[in-house]
Amino acid sequence: MKRPLLVFLALCLMLSVLAGCGGTSDAVTEAVSAMSEAYDEVAETEVETEPETEAEAEPEADAETETEPEAEAAPEEETEAASETSFEEITVIDNDQCSLVITALDPDNLWGYTLKVALENKSEDTTYMFSVLTASVDGVESDPYWASEVAAGKKANEEITFYDDILDEIGVGYTDIALTFHVYDSDDWMADDVAEETVHIYPYGEENAKAYVREAQESDVVLVDNDQITAIVIGCEDDPIWGYTVSLYLENKTDEELMFSAEDVSVNGYMSDPYWATTVDAGNCKFTEMTWYTEDLEADGIDQVEEIELTLWVYSYDDWTADDILNETFTLTP
């Protein structure tokens, strides 16, 4: 850039001299001399600056070399990526009648965290239904509402997706995905089960599995919290379409599946059943909702919920003869 600029200035000088002096030979001589001196100055300047340019280039190379260790931070990201993609196929069921294999994970599926499964019906004349009985993510129960029917002698590739928005809202890490699969005769529910198996999937390795722990909120209404169960009202909402909703957080701290149900429920003194009951597997927690339809409340002349009274009944799902875990009446004043 310096050379063209100085040459141009010299040229301008020459022309100005010619214009001012009428283009005499002495003027031309002086202009040429000035241009020659300018050119020599450019050459000397460039020669002197070349070493500086090389010196400047070296620090840039050194700077790149020095920043390489920072670039090496990528292996940690690669390690995380590898842990996400290092999943190996899991054969959950493989007997004379059927097989079920989890072939891949798709954490970024548009509809939610997805498992890909390969199914096979090995029977000669019976159609089988493959379904999920229970499922949880990091100890939080969530139903993927999945079932697939496979005809005799056929195979199928399916996807199991967790659509539940609550999983994203509470920020589970998908470090421990547990599913109980159930396979049975699609046309005869009274027939013996073909298979029932539970599997845990650890996308980051079993040693990195973390159970979800909910933090207490000031708005919580704790109904019960002991060494066996926890039941907390975490919110109430009056939806003009779906009705009045009470949101609950439940924990089962025992080693057996429990049933939670609401009995003798009244709203503002009127008997009004939300028809609510839910199971929670051993060691798991669950977010659930108790809802009263708008038309049912309107039939009792209720336009604003002021008081809800209910009996919370908790008992063993597998042994109805066992003592109740809880059978107590509570009053809520939203």
pLDDT single digits (tens) 222-263: 999 999 999 999 999 998 888 999 999 999 999 999 999 999
pLDDT at position 224:
98
- Is it the case that residue 324 has pLDDT exceeding 70? yes
Instruction: Give the pair of three-digit tokens for residue 243.
Output: 């009705």
**Residue 13, φ and ψ in degrees, nearest 5:** -60, -45
pLDDT, mean of residues 186-207: 95
pLDDT at position 40:
52
pTM over the 0.75 mark: no
**pLDDT higher at 140 or 22:** 140
Q: What percentage of residues in the chain have a pLDDT greater than 70?
A: 74
pLDDT at position 37:
55
- Is it the case that residue 69 has pLDDT exceeding 80? no
Instruction: Give the pair of three-digit tokens for residue 252.
Output: 């089962």
Going by C-alpha positions, the residue among 70, 65, 8, 64 that lies closest to residue 38 is 8
Q: Which amino acid is at 272?
A: S
- Is it the case that residue 213 has pLDDT exceeding 90? yes
Nearest 5°: CA angle at 114, between 133 and 187? 35
Helix, strand counts (H, E) of the chain: 5, 18
Going by C-alpha positions, the residue among 203, 210, 99 that lies closest to residue 158 is 99
Mean pLDDT of the chain: 83
**Residue 192, φ and ψ in degrees, nearest 5:** -60, 150
Alpha helices in 122-257 (DSSP H): 165-170
CA contacts within 13 A on the Cβ side of 240: 0
3-state SS class at 272 = coil
pLDDT, mean of residues 102-108: 96
Distance between first and last Cα of the chain: 78
pLDDT at position 241:
81
pLDDT, mean of residues 12-40: 48
Among 26-30, 86-90, 119-123, 162-166, top mean pLDDT goes to 119-123
pLDDT at position 33:
53
- Is it the case that residue 77 has pLDDT exceeding 60? no
Over residues 292-312, the pLDDT tens digits come to 999 999 999 999 999 999 999
Over residues 36-68, the pLDDT tens digits come to 554 455 444 444 444 444 444 444 444 444 444
- Is it the case that residue 328 has pLDDT exceeding 70? yes
Among 12-21, 22-31, 292-301, top mean pLDDT goes to 292-301
Q: How far is CA 333 from the centre of its chain?
A: 35
**pLDDT higher at 46 or 333:** 333
pLDDT at position 236:
96
- DSSP conformational letter for 283: T
Q: Which residues, 6 or more positions from 332, have their beta carbon under 8 angstroms from its beta carbon?
A: 221, 233, 236, 246, 307, 308, 309, 310
- Is it the case that residue 24 has pLDDT exceeding 90? no
Tell me the C-alpha distance between 90 and 118, whole Å. 10
Please, are residues 330 and 312 in contact by the beta-carbon 8 Å criterion? yes
The H-or-E segment that residue 190 falls in is none
| One-character DSSP codes across 95-154 | SSSEEEEEEEEETT-TTSEEEEEEEEE--SS--EEEEEEEEEETTEE-----EEEE-TT-
Tell me the C-alpha distance between 8 and 12, whole Å. 6
Q: What percentage of residues in the chain have a pLDDT greater than 90?
A: 72
- Is it the case that residue 276 has pLDDT exceeding 80? yes
pLDDT at position 242:
82
pLDDT at position 258:
98
- Is it the case that residue 197 has pLDDT exceeding 60? yes
Tell me the C-alpha distance between 41 and 32, whole Å. 14
pLDDT at position 72:
45
Over residues 113-129, the pLDDT tens digits come to 999 999 999 999 999 99
- What sign does the dihedral 210-211-215-219 (CA atoms) show? positive
- Is it the case that residue 219 has pLDDT exceeding 70? yes
pLDDT at position 47:
43
Q: How far is CA 101 from CA 50, 155, 156, 167, 220, in A?
A: 68, 11, 11, 25, 42
* 91 φψ region: left (φ > 0), alpha (ψ -120 to 50), beta (else): beta
**pLDDT higher at 165 or 82:** 165
